[in-house]
Structure 1
Amino acid sequence: MPFANYKFPQGTLDAAKKEEIIHRTTAMFVEYFGEGVRPYSMVLVDEVADGGWGRADETLTMEKMGIPRN
């Protein structure tokens, strides 16, 4: 089963953007593996609380990255 798990800062995606990510990811799986994988494709879009993740030993926030809230 193809599986994708995206993580985004909380509040940066609305329902329409999440739905688009799910549709486009599923379409990519179908392109690579064929139509038979569509019913078995799983896409999770997780939201992480602001400041709840980091990179290179630094806690990241939306403000630090210049990402506006929706």
Structure 2
Amino acid sequence: MPFANFKFPEGIIDAARKEEIIHRVTDMFVEYYGEGVRQYTMVLVEEVADGGWGRADETLTLAKMGKPPKS
């Protein structure tokens, strides 16, 4: 089963963008593996609470990245 998992900071993307990611990633898997994989493809688009993720041993927040806080 093709599987993709995307994680974004909470509030960064809206429902329409999530749906677009799901459709485009599914289409990409179908392009590579054939139409038969469409029904088995799983794409997860998750939101992670601000400060709940990091890189290179540093906890990242939207403020540290110069992004406005979610409203």
TM-score (norm 2): 0.91
1:54 corresponds to: 54
Gaps of 5+ in 2: none
Residues paired across the two proteins, number:
70
**For the aligned residues, what is the CA RMSD?**
1.3
Q: Which amino acid aligns with 1:26?
A: T
Runs of 4+ in 1 over 4 A off after TM superposition: none
Return the alpha-carbon distance in structure 2 between the equivalents of residues 67 and 34 of structure 1: 39
Residue by residue over 1:48-69, the C-alpha shift from the partner in whole angstroms, topping out at 9 and shown as x without a partner, is 0000011111110112223344
Partner of 2:65: 65
Question: Aligned-pair distance for 1:9?
Answer: 0.2
Identity of aligned residues (%): 77
Deviations 1:3-49 (A, max 9, x none): 00100000001100000000000000001100000000000001000
Which consecutive residues of structure 1, in runs of 5 or more, have no partner in the other structure? Answer: none
TM-score (norm 1): 0.92
Aligned pairs for 1:6-21 (under 5 A) are 6-21=6-21
- Structure with higher helix content: 1
